[in-house]
Amino acid sequence: MAVTSANRKTVLPADYARRKRYLSATFVICFVLLAIGATLYVVNQGFERMGDMRTRATYELKDESSHIRAAGEDLVLHSVHEAEKNHVVGYSATEIENLLSKEEWLEINSMVLIPEGAFSMGTDLERADVQNRPQHTVKLPAFWIDKYPVTNAQYAKFVVATSHRPPLNWKKGKIPQGEMLRPVTMVSWYDATAYAKWAGKRLPSEAEWEKSGRGTDGRRWPWGNKMEPERLNTYYNVGSTTNVNAYPNGVSPYGVMDMAGNVNEWTADDFAPYPGSDAPSDLFKGKIVRATNKKEFDIVPTGGSYKVLRGGSWKGDPFSSAVFHRNFAFSNYASDFFGFRCANNSNVTDKKE
């Protein structure tokens, strides 16, 4: 039967408005469900990524506390070690040279030229720690930076040449077996500075360190913006330090290695707020924890300042290995996940970005 204007039902204005509201509500519900689904997907991806990191750990993370030394233990042990007067130097100059091949020495002693120019330092990510914000532009002259963190083998040369105290974790003045190419650890900021001076270099500023690790495009990690656990040693996925050349896929845009994970690296700078920072000023003031009894403690200002460490470590969580992340510690602290690399400005060309 043909539909005519006579039998076609007329839609009243009130009905039309009601149907329009229903349709709008349906669209809103669909949009909300889509947003929830997308959020759940992102959260699930994050859990899967963290789960992947957990499966790479060398022990069950429920037992993690038994693998972490008590707070301050490294500092106490290091202080005792420094106070000892009879430190043993375990190598002769000839023995040191024979620790590695000529090719290995040449490679680990190499430096990378970072060109003059501006880069984006810090981050505006809301979930980043407050000391990492805001992102701002910094211009630097050209400089050289070590391609790798300073290794045990390199530090041993320094110890032999200067009779400097060997690190706490060396037994009878000798590097632990098989760890020649691992980054030297258990070194304070003062130890790192002494080595750099002996080598004719200096510690990098934190701006120099960050530019070397991220380049000029504002990336979060040396390789890009996605956390990829196979590119670095972090979150106990190995359980110790690794050779400085163990993660070639973690290289920075300039060719600098091991800038994420393995060891936190000392820089020259005091821990201070960025220009325009909204971080509480108290965060940047040195403090120590002092026990008042077995169950309570006070956080006591010291009047001192912290030094900045960069890069995350084999013990840290994956996201503290982001190249913009700032860790900090007192300059006399030393730990089994603190290391360093050096920089200098000698024979720098006028190379620009």
pLDDT tens column, 86-102: 567 789 999 999 999 99
User: Could you tell me if residue 7 is inside a domain?
Assistant: no
Query: Do 96 and 219 fall within a single domain?
Result: yes
Could you give the number of structural domains in the chain?
2
User: Could you tell me if residue 5 is inside a domain?
Assistant: no
User: Could you tell me if residue 262 is inside a domain?
Assistant: yes
Query: Do 51 and 81 fall within a single domain?
Result: no
User: Could you tell me if residue 113 is inside a domain?
Assistant: yes
> 137 has which bridge partners?
120
Closest CA to 242 of 259, 265, 261, 264: 261
**Farthest-apart Cα atoms in the chain, separation:** 111
The CATH number linked to 93 is: 3.90.1580.10
Rounded Cα–Cα distance for residues 315 and 332 (Å): 20
User: Could you tell me if residue 30 is inside a domain?
Assistant: yes
Query: Do 117 and 227 fall within a single domain?
Result: yes
Query: Do 87 and 166 fall within a single domain?
Result: yes
Query: Do 327 and 211 fall within a single domain?
Result: yes
In terms of residue numbers, what domain contains 267? 69-344
Cβ atoms of 119 and 215 within 8 Å: the answer is yes
Write phi, then psi, for 268 (nearest 5 degrees): -75, -20
Half-sphere exposure of 287 (CA within 13 A, CB side): 11
**pLDDT of 22:** 56
pLDDT digits (tens, 9 = 90+) for 64-76: 344 444 444 565 5
**pLDDT of 301:** 77
Rounded Cα–Cα distance for residues 126 and 275 (Å): 17
Query: Do 73 and 132 fall within a single domain?
Result: yes
Those residues whose C-beta lies under 8 Å from the C-beta of residue 32, and which sit 6 or more positions away, are: none
User: Could you tell me if residue 61 is inside a domain?
Assistant: no
**Nearest 5 degrees, angle CA 267-CA 286-CA 133?**
60
Query: Do 42 and 75 fall within a single domain?
Result: no
Those residues whose C-beta lies under 8 Å from the C-beta of residue 50, and which sit 6 or more positions away, are: 318
Query: Do 31 and 179 fall within a single domain?
Result: no
User: Could you tell me if residue 352 is inside a domain?
Assistant: no
Does a cis peptide bond (omega within 30 degrees of 0) precede residue 222? no
User: Could you tell me if residue 63 is inside a domain?
Assistant: no
pTM for the structure as a whole:
0.78
Burial class (CB in 10 A: 0-12, 13-18, 19+), 57: middle
Query: Do 108 and 32 fall within a single domain?
Result: no
Query: Do 232 and 131 fall within a single domain?
Result: yes
Which segments of the chain have a pLDDT < 50? 1-8, 32, 38-43, 45-72
151: its two tokens: 């290794």
Query: Do 213 and 333 fall within a single domain?
Result: yes
Burial class (CB in 10 A: 0-12, 13-18, 19+), 266: buried
**pLDDT of 304:** 84
**pLDDT of 294:** 64
**pLDDT of 5:** 45
Query: Do 40 and 129 fall within a single domain?
Result: no
**pLDDT of 46:** 47
